[in-house]
Structure 1
């Protein structure tokens, strides 16, 4: 097992009726920026509940944070935070809103050009504005980690950043919020969490046995509950397991002591930036093709995955190949298309464009073995057509 450090200071507050604790979690006399997305919180009662529990606080609202939050939008929020001397941020939303607030948190007191945080993937370790979250859409795990992704609309780039100062101080996670979500968002959340686990699991054999079993437990649970929770979002047992799986998939626990990949995400981000495709759906488009192109170096773990998750039998090659097929079948069962051509007619330029962009950034060796070249990236995207 590799050496590791485990640090996660987020106070994770889970279950029904936890919103009533909100006012006690924020420092008294704090000046708050309340950030949210497109306004769904006004329709499902969450906004009213939040404001009821923020009585007595000085609250400034900032709405309109996009799915895949735009740097250009977040710049406006940063200006408000500085102008009004706001000292606490509250994200009410899903991963995009939380990621946007992480950027606001880290960029407000940054001395240079905030774009550098994204372009140079800087680590924010100090001087961040403290923030908390009220989770409304389980998917990304951003409610209990210190990473985030922001889109630069001007250049069509979707870039990640993070740092130890960007953990939420608290996250209120009530599974009943999914009752009002569209099916598409729940489908996305399941596949997003599933692929988060795969990026930390589907690498090569190692001796961190417990990490594998935890990962397999999450994958098995997502396969079991995924189709059911889409159809029955009011079932609390399904909803609570769904939310907890999404958090556990990317709260930092699974990657401790093990090799990780993340190339599927890096390629998928480009598809979102280019075409506006939902994040989870880009992962479903890219993941299976990446496993195929890197088959020989992922075969041992694919075989383990096939045996333990899908109970397959046969030769290692047969099991590994069928495991990829079973993964695609699960994505289809979740209502997720897995071909780029099913999302856009303008797909033919994608492979060349993404390969050129990776080359410009110096991303010439990706994946757990650093064997994913720009040429292989191009091939993976071409396979997705």
Structure 2
């Protein structure tokens, strides 16, 4: 490992050129490995101490361990405007996007990450147009009988034919991409099995967002160097709201196929007990994340990825708000319109899952699982904490 003094010239030379995102992570990690002031902040820095060199696979692995909490940036004595220009959150964010792109299946989806804002907008417009057009044709210009259910507007079989292939492809694409990432994530834990202890540890970290606490339980940073739990709380509302909505859909599917009970369901049916709180939590969580993102410190993350981040947040918020609107519309004349907007938003979400920000949660979970396995192995370079 190079001493900090000898890295100054390298830092200046790289700043004058245009290093690849992976090379920038390697440069930054070399400096951090010599300093190690931030070792207790998150999962990145303990994993960093397991390696002396940082190959592209290592950069991708470490980048997906980073939760962009900003604690290391505000604690770093070598952060901009220092000549070392160490900005871990930005370096990691740029590599994360490349992780999704290089592991994408099919490969053409990788290019969609570079223009995600445009892709998402087109997908949403196309999905809304398709659902509305089909509803108009089949519904006879919205002449739906009073009190009729969803399937008077769009038949159940048609909905399955529209949504199942899109969701199936998205799930397959993400699964193949994450499998590629898992196999290349880190040579240190390569070939080591995922034990029950490691799985429990990583699962707990995911469920409580362990690494959005800044490493000290005080929270992370957003607009400035003040500690805040706001990002963690809004992430929790978004994540658990989404999971409640997913559970409501799963229960409704069981009701339909196992018992022959068709939607919409009256209150307090289980799909409503799950879906309404889930929709509220998802709407509040995404609105909060969007507000925080607009106020984010300019050195946090990669500004070029803002369209992807905000687009994904806005789409999730639209799914939640339109679902709540559909519930409140009941059997009124507004129901078909709310139904089409909601289904169009859900279809656009499904279509963009393999090439959008949704992937970050899947890849981050895989990286945390790998880190939990790695921590149970002897440190090959002897740089772990005493």
Q: Which has the larger radius of gyration?
A: 2
Greater RCO, CA 8 A, separation 6+: 2
TM-score bracket, shorter-length normalisation:
under 0.3
Q: What is the TM-score when the length of structure 2 is the normalising length?
A: 0.26
Q: Which has the higher helix share?
A: 2
Q: What is the TM-score when the length of structure 1 is the normalising length?
A: 0.26
Q: Which has the higher strand share?
A: 1
